[in-house]
Amino acid sequence: MLVLTRLRLAFSVFLFYSDLVTSAVIRKRLSISNGPVNLDGFPKEATLVDGKVSGTVISGEKGDSFEITVSNDLTSDKMDLLTSVHWHGIHMHRSTWADGAAMVSQCPIVPGNSFKYVWDTSERGSLQAGTFWYHSHFSTQYCDGLRGPLIIRDESDRNVYGYDIDNDETIISLSDWFHFYGKDFVPGPTVRPPFPDTGLINGKGRDPYNPISDLSVITVEPGKRYRMRVIQMACYTAFEYSIDEHSLTVIEADSIMTEPYEVDSIYVFSGQRYSHILDTRDTRPDAYWIRSQPERLEYTFKIREDSGANYTIPHWGNNTNVAILRYTNSPNLFPSTPADVDVPVLTRPLIEGNLQPIHEEAAPGIPELGKADVNIELKSVFNASGNGLFEINHASFESPDVPLMLQIMSGGGNAMDLLPKGSVIPLPRDKVIEVRIQGTERHSGGPHPFHLHGHDFYVIKTADSLTPNFENPMRRDTVSSGMEDQEVIIRFRTDNPGPWFLHCHLDWHLEEGMAVIMVEDAPTIAQTRVPEAWRDLCRHYDDYRASAVPFQRDGSEKPISFDY
């Protein structure tokens, strides 16, 4: 008994000190440019990171600090020329200004300029590790390709003994792809979002009308256990992810480590991430399909009222969105059956309410619905005013001309004075917040994955559950709101001052106004110390808008007249 006690004490001391270690400063420079690509058999231009779609992998260790310089080298006016980059899932403690949401926490980066994003994860209160990603947060730009993985590994991960290999080769990105440019989507009464033409896995797919393009291949050895990090980077589509003849043991959701949970498929919404263990010890060496099947919606409607064309959503969903899992000693280069033949029957899907964080933590506040310090209900409606926009609580989000953070720092502490009106929700410091997000009707393009910047939240009630869970609810940063007559309920504590976006992560829907901003502790935001380069962003943006440049959906052609 004494030996066991000493071992437990030693392990606890190890975990404590491992949380205090600062390992390194990760410095990267990302070049955002335009260039030709052919990802699915259809050539077009794209917005690239270091010359690639689903670009450079940024990786570090728990406790590292990051300094990422983003250089705007964009030149094609087919796409947006302004840019900003959001670090999805990173809390940005004491670095609110680096969150990357254009016109919320910063002005966008103009062509020919660069900006350094800096955040520090070495402080005990802001330690984070897991699977994250980065993407453009200017208008609908990330639909054109600006996105990539961000991985922070943790040597003290309690699930580390369950896998042998965790490297950049086991990252799986899921996305949709459009032969349409995001800049061309301008919401209106007779306009509907464009539908994806193709699905991509690790940046490769096949246009159904030209199904000869290369597919992504992930090579594994027999007798190993791999940590596969799945990142859902789609602009518009949810996917059901599976690997033929393999079980998936889920150990992470949105950077939160979970108790091992064995399933055969995972329904993944845009913005979400999962890690699962892939065990190759008992499976016959061969080539297998990795599937990322799009959601199947049971209705059709026109892209535009005057187009005369109807499309089933999505029209590329005939089991064509696949990649190949290939064992090193496989007798075949490709799976023996076509991807759309002998599709396996999946019987053990991931149920979100069954996820359990490995580090147990009760939800904050009184364990009863509606008993938080602040209780908020958000109801989304589409096209209520006949304008083709979403409204949340009767207001459609419209990007302001001046970043909300700058408004607050310039003396706009009264929430009633902050823009955009009706979309700003003030929150007091050090309080428990409960947010009830109602599901929407099928015709609104739901279910909607809602993402909160600046926080993980406690999912008190998932959309598919009947009862709340206050004891050890899943914590994450992106969750489905469900459909009509469903709702999701989340809680978080206001311990991270900042203007934090809460929005649908279907980018067309964000462009259509499906968002609010939580202004957390405005007095502290007003005192934020920011680098001079952050203020320069707005000076350069002011000059850019005042010059003769192509329209860039900045909301106004007038220069900013604000104290920066």
Contacts for 522-528 with beta carbons within 8 Å, 24 or more apart? 522/408, 522/413, 522/415, 522/426, 523/413, 523/429, 524/429, 524/497, 525/96, 525/405, 525/408, 525/409, 525/497, 525/498, 525/499, 526/408, 526/409, 526/411, 526/413, 528/96, 528/97, 528/405, 528/409, 528/497
The one-letter code for the residue type at 69 is T
The order of strands in the sheet holding 147-153 is 58-61, 147-153, 130-136, 85-88
Q: How far apart are CA 19 and CA 128, in angstroms?
A: 10
Q: Please, are residues 537 and 111 in contact by the beta-carbon 8 Å criterion?
A: no
3-state secondary structure of 490: strand
**Positive or negative: CA dihedral 13, 14, 18, 23:** positive
Q: Which has the closest alpha carbon to 167: 185, 149, 179, 181?
A: 149
Q: Which has the closest alpha carbon to 130: 66, 62, 34?
A: 62
Q: How far apart are CA 356 and CA 5, in angstroms?
A: 26
- All residues at 6 or more sequence positions from 127 whose CB lies less than 8 Å from its CB, including other chains: 19, 62, 63, 121
Domain contains 340: no
Domain contains 524: yes
Domain contains 27: no
Dump strand ranges (E) for 233-384.
239-243, 248-253, 256-263, 266-268, 273-279, 287-294, 300-302, 310-312, 322-327, 374-378, 380-382
Q: Please, are residues 490 and 470 in contact by the beta-carbon 8 Å criterion?
A: no
Range of the domain at 409: 374-544
Q: How far apart are CA 147 and CA 53, in angstroms?
A: 7
What CATH number has the domain bearing residue 484?
2.60.40.420
The pLDDT value given to residue 55:
82
Q: How far apart are CA 350 and CA 415, in angstroms?
A: 40
Q: pLDDT tens string for the chain (564 positions)?
A: 333 334 344 434 444 444 455 579 999 999 999 999 999 999 999 999 999 998 899 999 999 999 999 999 999 999 999 999 999 999 999 999 999 999 999 999 999 999 999 998 766 556 899 999 999 999 999 999 999 999 999 988 999 999 999 999 999 999 999 999 999 999 988 888 888 989 999 999 988 777 788 999 999 999 999 999 999 999 999 999 999 999 999 999 999 999 999 999 999 999 999 999 999 999 999 999 999 988 754 332 223 333 444 444 444 445 468 999 999 999 999 998 877 766 778 889 999 999 999 999 999 999 999 999 999 999 999 988 889 999 999 999 999 999 999 999 998 767 778 999 999 999 999 999 999 999 987 778 889 999 999 999 999 999 989 899 999 999 999 999 998 889 999 999 999 999 999 999 999 999 999 999 999 999 999 999 999 999 999 999 999 999 855 545 544 434 334 444
Domain contains 302: no
Question: Tokens 């109801």 — which residue?
Answer: 379
As for how many domains the chain has, the answer is 1
Per-residue tokens: 148 = 């990539």
Q: How far apart are CA 222 and CA 227, in angstroms?
A: 14
Domain contains 408: yes
Angle, CA 478 vertex, CA 311 and CA 380 arms, to 5°: 60
The widest CA-to-CA distance across the chain, in whole angstroms, is 79
- Give the count of beta carbons closer than 10 Å to the beta carbon of residue 410: 13
The pLDDT value given to residue 358:
96
Residue 228 CA: distances (Å) to CA of 35, 57, 131, 388: 30, 15, 10, 39
Domain contains 104: no
Q: Which has the closest alpha carbon to 326: 246, 249, 239?
A: 246
- Give the count of beta carbons closer than 10 Å to the beta carbon of residue 116: 14
Residue 428 CA: distances (Å) to CA of 41, 417, 434, 498, 521: 52, 17, 13, 11, 5
- All residues at 6 or more sequence positions from 536 whose CB lies less than 8 Å from its CB, including other chains: none
Angle, CA 133 vertex, CA 518 and CA 470 arms, to 5°: 50
Residue 467 CA: distances (Å) to CA of 83, 156, 376, 473, 522: 42, 33, 19, 12, 34
The one-letter code for the residue type at 355 is L
Per-residue tokens: 436 = 């009830």
The order of strands in the sheet holding 65-73 is 44-49, 25-37, 65-73, 114-120
Dihedral pair phi/psi, residue 86, rounded to 5°: -100, 140
Give the number of residues written for the chain. 564
Q: Please, are residues 541 and 552 in contact by the beta-carbon 8 Å criterion?
A: no
Dump strand ranges (E) for 428-473.
432-438, 449-452, 457-461
The pLDDT value given to residue 336:
87
Q: Which has the closest alpha carbon to 115: 148, 77, 82, 79?
A: 82
Domain contains 39: no
The pLDDT value given to residue 401:
95
Q: Please, are residues 400 and 394 in contact by the beta-carbon 8 Å criterion?
A: no
Q: How far apart are CA 520 and CA 499, in angstroms?
A: 6
Domain contains 71: no
The pLDDT value given to residue 54:
84
